[in-house]
Amino acid sequence: MAVIDKFLDGDRRSLAKIITHVENRADNYREVLARLYPRTGKTYKIGFTGPPGAGKSSLVDLVANQLLEDGEMVSIIAVDPSSPFTGGALLGDRIRMARLSNHRNVYIRSMATRGSGGGLASATKDICVVLDSFGFDKVLVETVGVGQVELDIVDTADTVVVVLVPESGDTIQAMKAGLMEIADVFCLNKSDREGADRLAAELEMMLDIRRHGSEWHYPVVQTSALKGWGVDKLQEQIAAHQTYLKESGKFEKRRRRQVKREIYQHLQDMLLDEARNRIGGDATVEKIVDEIAEGSSDPYTEAERIFREHFT
Interface residues with a second copy (CB under 8 A) are 30-31, 33-34, 37-38, 51-53, 80-83, 114, 117-118, 120, 144-152, 167, 169-170, 173, 176-179, 181, 252, 255-256, 259-260, 262-268, 270-272, 274-275, 282, 285-286, 288-289, 292-293, 295, 298-304, 306-307, 311
Contact 151, 56 (CB under 8 A): no
Residue 227 dihedral angles phi and psi, to the nearest 5°: -90, -5
Detail the DSSP E strand segments found in the chain: 44-49, 74-79, 106-111, 138-143, 159-164, 185-188, 220-222
Considering beta carbons, is residue 170 or 208 the nearer one to a second copy?
170
Query: Of 31 and 236, which has the nearer Cβ to a second copy?
Result: 31
List all residues 6 or more positions away from 239 whose beta carbon is below 8 Å from its beta carbon: none
d(CA 22, CA 175): 34
How far apart are CB 165 and a second copy at their closest, in Å? 10
Task: Pick the closer one to a second copy by CB: 26 or 239.
Answer: 26
Q: Are 251 and 245 spatial neighbours (Cβ–Cβ below 8 Å)?
A: yes
What's the min distance (Å) between Cβ of 89 and a second copy?
12
Q: How far is the CB of 205 from a second copy (least distance, A)?
A: 20
Identify any residues that bridge with 107 across adjacent strands, giving them in sequence order: 75
> Sign of the CA dihedral 190, 195, 198, 203?
negative
- In angstroms, give the least distance from the CB of 70 to a second copy: 28
Residue closer to a second copy by CB (options 108, 151) is 151
184-188-189 Cα angle (round to 5):
125
Residue 113 vs 237, nearer CB to a second copy? 113
Q: Roughly how many angstroms between the first and final C-alpha of the chain, as a whole number?
A: 37
Q: Which is nearer to a second copy, 24 or 173 (CB)?
A: 173
* Shortest Å, Cβ 173 to a second copy: 4
Distance in angstroms (rounded) separating the CA atoms of residues 50 and 152: 13
Nearer to a second copy, 181 or 208 (CB): 181
